Chains A and B, each alone.
Chain A
Amino acid sequence: MRIYFERSGGFLGKPVTCTVDTESLPADEAAALQEMVAAASFFELRETAPQGRDQFQYKVVVEAAQVKYTVETTDTAAPDSLQPLLRKLTLMTRSTKFSS
């Protein structure tokens, strides 16, 4: 599974991105990410329009089993089930291993 993640906006306004290939992760970390994607029912999520002021805007692209799916959302629009994945990917952007 490959994930491209982009977060922009927010009070700070500084965009962060990361690209993750679960193949290159330790097995437990890869499994944790896959579980987060599954728990979010990621491939069934709908796009949502940006709203409010200073909210983060997220773009998440997941490629798995030859399916590529993109979700664009914001803090208040994203379902709770997606929040752990967004937080995990945000922290991954801080690592030079994944940030692009």
Chain B
Amino acid sequence: MSHRHSIFCILPPHILQEIARRGSLAQRDLAIRNLTISAEVRGYRQGLAVTAAKLDVTDALAGKERIVYDAQNSSVLPGLRMRGEGDPPTDDPAVDEAFDGSGATYDLYNEVYDRDSIDSRGLRLDSTVHYQRGYDNAFWNGRQMVYGDGDEDLPEADRLFNRFTIAIDIIGHELTHGVTQYEANLVYNNQPGALNESISDVFGILVKQRSLGQSARNANWIVGEGLLTSNVNGVGLRSMKAPGTAYNDPVLGSDPQPGHMDDYKSVPYDNGGVHINSGIPNRAFYLVAYELDGLAWEKAGRIWYDTLTNRLTATSNFQAAANATFAAAKQLFGQGSLEQQAVQMGWSEVGILVEDTGNDNPPPPPEEPPEEPQGCLPTVKSLLGF
């Protein structure tokens, strides 16, 4: 996929900002235009589609930047811009929840795991709310997060779902699909797909627990709490603690998630049950975090983050993930540490016996694009009299 702005010149933003403040009128215009184009490119950069001559504007522009759009009940993405970084709250709860939730997710990755956004280079976080009508879902389209309003088109007595921004862990889940896309890039079917789903649930629930200041043992480990209306017999969409128990309702049916390999479901839908079998690694994570107690994002989360970013490949299955978390725990906390023992126990409880692959050293990180944009920096510098 190529980008329309295939030719443009890049100056480090601090220089551009300086020009924008102090330069002549013409210089200011040019600087502002460059800043704008950089921001656009940054917003649209894609995981496997880094084109535009690999011009890397994102390092310089790194930092938290969010935009929330309104699809106005249509399917058009991204829709109308409603709130950007630095803007005050709106009077639309969906807009503000998407804004705050993506901010809390950015903060977890940045403050705890030292990661700058989805691509670790400050990719702008775009979200769209009010997608379609009666849309009971949220998704990541490969580029941005999208949220429906639930059953808002039905009379209240018939509604099963509330708006999908209502649960902060759903926002963390969707944004984490972006992180996974830039890291292990797990294929979206069968076990790698269920791992992909589980990783989104894991970091989604960590965003929730961190925002509530909850320890692993005080948290309820319910994904999508508050999503179901009072018409439904259920507490949320999934339970990481007890998969298969989140809801049981005459209209919605019962929660299909297994919590043990003995109950793994090979199904011909949902890409081989990616949202179903994710219950197994979800429960393994819960068990590890519970065993270690304290704040789940500090130890268990760190082991999973290292696994996602350094140790998994696109086709990793549950066994490979178990082995990788074991190796990660060893590297982070030591051979035979309580943390490593907890990892072994967590997987074994869900029917996966960790194998010590002895793989202490993660595979080398993928090749980075060149740091410096080529060619035009000196040109623009001289043009601007630097």
Where the two chains meet, the residues of A that have a C-beta atom closer than 8 Å to any C-beta of B are 6, 8-15, 50-57, 75-76, 78, 80, 83, 87, 90-91, 94
Decide if A11 touches B269 in the complex (CB within 8 Å): no
Where the two chains meet, the residues of B that have a C-beta atom closer than 8 Å to any C-beta of A are 74-75, 77, 132-142, 153-154, 160, 164, 170, 173-174, 177, 188, 196-197, 200, 224, 237, 251-253, 255-256, 267, 269-271, 273-276
Decide if B138 touches A15 in the complex (CB within 8 Å): no
Decide if B136 touches A53 in the complex (CB within 8 Å): no
Decide if B269 touches A52 in the complex (CB within 8 Å): no
Assembly CA distance A87 to B142 (angstroms): 24
B144 to chain A, nearest CB (A): 10
The 8 closest A-B pairs by CB, nearest first: A13-B275, A8-B269, A54-B139, A53-B177, A52-B141, A53-B140, A10-B137, A55-B139
Given contacts A11-B237, A12-B136, 4 further A-B contacts (CB under 8 A): A10-B275, A15-B269, A54-B177, A76-B75
Q: Which listed residue (A8, A10, A53, A75) contacts B196, Cβ 8 A?
A: A53
Decide if B270 touches A8 in the complex (CB within 8 Å): yes
Assembly CA distance A51 to B77 (angstroms): 15
- Give A12's nearest chain B residue, CB to CB: B237
Given contacts A10-B275, A76-B141, A80-B75, contact A87 B164 (CB under 8 A): no
Assembly CA distance A11 to B197 (angstroms): 9
Number of A-B contacts (CB under 8 A): 94
A98 to chain B, nearest CB (A): 12
Assembly CA distance A13 to B201 (angstroms): 13
Taking CB atoms, residues of chain A closer than 8 Å to B154 are 91
A83 to chain B, nearest CB (A): 6
Decide if A9 touches B174 in the complex (CB within 8 Å): no
Decide if B139 touches A52 in the complex (CB within 8 Å): yes
Taking CB atoms, residues of chain B closer than 8 Å to A51 are 141-142
Q: Which residue among A15, A56, A91 has the maximum number of chain B CB atoms within 10 Å of its CB? A: A15
Taking CB atoms, residues of chain A closer than 8 Å to B196 are 53
- 27 contacts across the A-B interface (CB closer than 8 A): A6-B269, A9-B270, A10-B136, A10-B139, A10-B275, A11-B137, A11-B138, A11-B139, A13-B197, A13-B270, A13-B274, A14-B252, A14-B255, A14-B275, A15-B269, A15-B270, A50-B271, A51-B141, A52-B140, A53-B188, A54-B139, A75-B75, A76-B77, A76-B139, A80-B75, A90-B136, A91-B154
Decide if A87 touches B133 in the complex (CB within 8 Å): yes
Given contacts A9-B275, A51-B142, A83-B75, contact A56 B134 (CB under 8 A): no
Taking CB atoms, residues of chain A closer than 8 Å to B270 are 8-9, 13, 15, 57
- Give B246's nearest chain A residue, CB to CB: A12
Decide if B137 touches A55 in the complex (CB within 8 Å): yes
Taking CB atoms, residues of chain B closer than 8 Å to A11 are 137-139, 164, 170, 173, 224, 237, 275
B102 to chain A, nearest CB (A): 16
Taking CB atoms, residues of chain B closer than 8 Å to A53 are 139-140, 142, 174, 177, 188, 196, 200
Assembly CA distance A90 to B75 (angstroms): 17
A9 to chain B, nearest CB (A): 5
B54 to chain A, nearest CB (A): 25
Taking CB atoms, residues of chain B closer than 8 Å to A87 are 132-134, 153
Q: Which listed residue (A13, A55, A90, A91) contacts B273, Cβ 8 A?
A: A13
Taking CB atoms, residues of chain B closer than 8 Å to A50 are 271
A61 to chain B, nearest CB (A): 15
Given contacts A11-B224, A14-B252, A14-B253, contact A54 B137 (CB under 8 A): yes
B183 to chain A, nearest CB (A): 14
